[in-house]
Structure 1
Amino acid sequence: MDTEHGWTTTPITAELVRGALELERTARGVLPHRLPARARAQCADAQLAMAESQPSGVRLAFRTRATAVELETVPTKRVYTGLPPRPDGVYDLFVDGRLAGQGSVSGGDVQTVDLAGGPGETRPGASGTLRFTGLADGVKDVEIWLPHDERTELVALRTDAPVEPVPDRGRRVWLHHGSSISHGSNAASPTGTWPALAARLGGVELVNLGLGGGALLDPFTARALRDTPADLISVKIGINLVNADLMRLRAFTPAVHGFLDTVREGHPRTPLLVVSPLLCPLHEDTPGPTAPDVEALRAGRLLFKATGDPAERAGGKLTLGVIRDELARIVAQRAADDPHLHHLDGRALYGEADAAELPLPDGLHPDATAQRRIGERFAALAFGAGGHFAAQGS
C-alpha cells in the first residue's frame, strides 16, 4: 500500500473481488470477467464478449475502518442507434450487509450498438471516480457492487484507512447461469437483479453467470460451471435458444444432457436446479428468431417480435412451451439416478397473472419491479423451508 494526500491506495486483487471468474490486467487497471480466458477464446460472438465483461454480481469486498472510499473506474457506456441515451450504470454500497449508498461514474469509453445490424464502434474515454463519504467510524465490512450492465475496468481503490479482505463467513456459494433476465436486464441497480436479491434473502454468496443473449448450452460455459467451486448450482435454460433459433428439438435434447453431464463432472453431488423459461407471450407457441421491431426503433422505442411460424414446431423448431415440456422430461429421467438434480417451472417465478400485472416492457425482459418479484419467489421456493437449496435443518 502507498499513502498520498491522506488516501491509502490498495491494489485490486482477487482477494478483494467476488463474483468474477477471472481478473484481466489491462493497461488501465483490472477488468473482471465472468467467463475464463479459455472460454472466451472459443467464441468470437461480440454479444457474448460484451455480456460476460459486464460485471453482474461482481463486487469488491473488504474490511476497513475507513470513513471515505473512492473507486476509480473506466466504464463502457452503450449508445443504441436511434434510441434515447441509457442512464449511467449504478454502483451499490453495502456496509455490514445494508445498503448505505449508490452512485455512478460518468465518462469512460463509448460503445455504439446498432440493433438493426449496422456496424458499431468503441471510442476510448477517460476514467471517472466514485466517492462515498461519511461512513461510520469503526471496523466494518464494505461491499461495492459494480454496475450489472456496464463493462467496468477497475483502476484504483482509495480509502482513508487501510483495508483487508473480508474473512470467510462460512456462507454457501450459489453458482447460477441464465440469460439476460438472470444477467439483470432492466433491474434498477446491481443488487436489484433477481439473482442478487435471491442470494441476499437466501444468505448465500452469489456467482452470477447470467449472460445476456448467451445462455445457449455452450460447452465452454458448461466447463466454466464445472470448474467453479460451488455448494449450489442452478441453470436457467430456454429463451436464448428460441431468440437465436439456434437448434431444433433433435439437437436440444442431447445438448441439455451434455451440458448437465459436464457440470456433473465437477459437481457430482451438488444440488443442481434446472429452471425452465419464465412466461414470455411472444414465444410461448411461436418459434424464433427474435428480431427488433424496426418500426418501433424508428419511433425511438425498443420492442421485439417473433419472426417464426407456429406451424414450424412440427419440424422441430423450439418454442418456450416445447422447451418446458422437454426439460421436465429430461430432469425426471436423469433424477432417477441423480437424487440431487431438481426442476423448477419458470412460470412459478413469472407466470400469466404476473404478465397481466407487470407486462414485459419490450416483449422480452421483466422490469425492475418484476425482477424483484422473481428474486423473492426464487428465494422462497429454492432457499425457503422445503426448498431444494434450503440449509440443513430448515
Structure 2
Amino acid sequence: MDTIPITPELLRGALDLERTAHGLLPHRLPARARAQCADPQLAMAESQPSGVRLVFRTRATTVELDALPTKRVYVGAPPRPDGVYDLLVDGRPAGSGRVAGGSTLTVDMAAGTTEHRPGPVGTLRFAGLPGAVKVVEIWLPHNETTELVALRTDAPVEPVPDQGGRVWLHHGSSISHGSDAASPTTTWPALAASLGGVDLINLGLSGSALLDPFTARTLRDTPADLISVKLGINLVNTDLMRLRAFGPAVHGFLDTVRDGHPGTPLLVVSPILCPLHEDTPGPSLPDFSALSEGRLRFRAAGDPAEKASGKLTLGVIRDELARIVRERAADDPHLHLLDGRELYGEADAAELPLPDGLHPDAAAHRRIGERFAALAFAPGGAFTDTAA
C-alpha cells in the first residue's frame, strides 16, 4: 500500500484546509470568517464536513483512510452512533463505514458546558473494489469533525479534473447541514445535488444560519453557478433579532451575495413546517423532562403574544421573506422564492413527524431532497434559470 499525500486537488466541498498536529482539518468557512466569530456552536458546525469528500481516479482495489474524528456525547441522552463515511464508485453507492476511536466532546446541555477529551486515530478500509480505472469518492461524516491523517491505496491516484459541471452553493441551518440524516450522501442537499447533476458546496451550518455578514461574504466570494439560502429557523431558535432588524438584515445579506454573483440564479428558501415555532417565538430550549427519559427533544420557550412586539415566528418570517423577494425581484429577475412548506408541510408532519421537534429524520431528508430537486431543477424551476 502506498501513502498518498492528501492535497487540495483531492478534496471537494471544503473552503479551507487547516494543518493540525495530526493532519488536515477541512473547514467550510474560510479562516477570515472564522476569525470574526468566537461562537463555539459555529466553530463545531463549520468544522463538521457536511458535503466534503475525497475524489480521485485510480485502479486501486483497496483504499484506507486514517482519520481522527471528534464524537459528540450529550449528558443524559442516548449515545450517538459513530459518523458514517460513504463510498461512491463512478457516482454509484459502493459501501459505507465508520471510524472507531477518536476524540470526544461531552456536552452538558443543562449546565451549558462542554469537555473535550483527546483520543486515538482510527482507520477506514474499503477492499474488493473493481480493478478498472474508476472515480472514487469518500464522503466524510456530515456531523462529525474529522481530521484527515493519511490516505493509502494499492495503486496510483490522480485528481479528477473539473468536468465543467455546474456548482451549487447552498447555505442553511442544521436541517441543511444534515441533522438526523442517515449518512453524508443522504442529507437532503446531497440527495438533491445528485438528482440535479450538480457539484455541491454545502454551507448548512447547524444552529448558525443567522444572517452573519461573514457568511454572506463567504457566499459572495465562492465561485458558483447556482446559489440557495434557506433562512429562518435558527433566528427563531436563538431568539436573535426582532422583525425590525430581520428585514434589513435579509436585504443586506442578499446585497452582499449579489456583489459577487450579480446574475447567478439565487433561490431564497423559507422554513419547512415546524409546529413548535409556527406561531410561537423562540428561543428553543431542551426539554429536560424528555432528556431524563433518555430522549432529546426541544420546546418553544416564547409566548405567542410576543409577536406583537416584533418577536419572530416561522409564519412571520415566511411572510417577510415573500415580501422581500417579491419586491427585489422587480429589479432582479434571477431571484426566486421557494416556500419551505412545499418541501415539508402539514401532511408530511403528520406522516413523518420531527422526532425531536426540530429536525427531520432520514426518511424526511429523502423526501425533502427529492422535492427540492423536482421543484428547483425541473423545467421552469429556479435552477433552470439562465444567468444574465
Fold equivalence (TM over 0.5): yes
**Which amino acid in 1 is paired with 2:215?**
T
Shift of 1:167: 1.7
Distance 1:321 1:164 in 2: 50
In structure 1, the partner of 2:324 is 330
Q: Is the 8 A contact 1:92 1:190 kept in 2?
A: yes
Q: How does 1:1-394 map to 2 (within 5 A)?
A: 7-390=1-384
Distance 1:139 1:86 in 2: 37
**Which amino acid in 1 is paired with 2:228?**
S
1:324-371 CA-to-partner distances (Å, cap 9, x unmatched) read 000000000100000000000000000000000000000000000000
Distance 2:112 2:215 in 1: 28
1:130-181 CA-to-partner distances (Å, cap 9, x unmatched) read 0000000111000000000000000001000010101212210000000000
Shift of 1:118: 3.3
Distance 1:369 1:391 in 2: 29
Question: Percent identity, aligned pairs only?
Answer: 80
Shift of 1:391: 7.2
Q: Is the 8 A contact 2:188 2:369 kept in 1?
A: yes
Q: Is the 8 A contact 1:69 1:160 kept in 2?
A: yes
1:278-328 CA-to-partner distances (Å, cap 9, x unmatched) read 000000000000100111111111110001000000000000000000000
Distance 2:110 2:191 in 1: 33
In structure 2, the partner of 1:4 is none
Shift of 1:33: 0.1
Q: Does 226-235 or 107-116 show the bigger shift? A: 107-116
Distance 2:249 2:112 in 1: 32
Distance 2:15 2:30 in 1: 6
Shift of 1:390: 2.3
Distance 2:385 2:321 in 1: 26
List gaps (5 residues or longer) in structure 1: 1-6
**Which amino acid in 2 is paired with 1:30?**
L
Distance 1:321 1:69 in 2: 49
Distance 2:113 2:268 in 1: 36
Shift of 1:119: 1.9
List gaps (5 residues or longer) in structure 2: none
Q: Give the length in aligned residue pairs.
A: 386
Q: Is the 8 A contact 2:265 2:385 kept in 1?
A: no
1:195-222 CA-to-partner distances (Å, cap 9, x unmatched) read 0000000000000000000000000000
Q: Is the 8 A contact 1:180 1:210 kept in 2?
A: yes
Distance 2:334 2:100 in 1: 46
Distance 1:112 1:254 in 2: 38
In structure 2, the partner of 1:3 is none
Q: Is the 8 A contact 2:178 2:188 kept in 1?
A: yes
Q: State the SS of the aligned residue for 1:120.
A: strand
Distance 1:371 1:391 in 2: 25
Q: Is the 8 A contact 1:383 1:391 kept in 2?
A: no
Q: Is the 8 A contact 1:56 1:183 kept in 2?
A: yes
Distance 1:42 1:55 in 2: 20
Q: State the SS of the aligned residue for 1:213.
A: coil
Q: State the SS of the aligned residue for 2:113.
A: coil
Q: Does 167-176 or 203-212 show the bigger shift? A: 167-176
**Which amino acid in 2 is paired with 1:338?**
D
**Which amino acid in 2 is paired with 1:374?**
I
Q: Is the 8 A contact 1:22 1:33 kept in 2?
A: yes
**Which amino acid in 2 is paired with 1:68?**
T
Q: State the SS of the aligned residue for 1:78.
A: strand
Q: Is the 8 A contact 1:74 1:109 kept in 2?
A: yes
Which segments of structure 1 move beyond 4 Å, counting only runs of 4 or more? none
With structure 1 as the length reference, what TM-score do the two structures score? 0.97
Distance 2:218 2:349 in 1: 33
Distance 1:102 1:179 in 2: 25
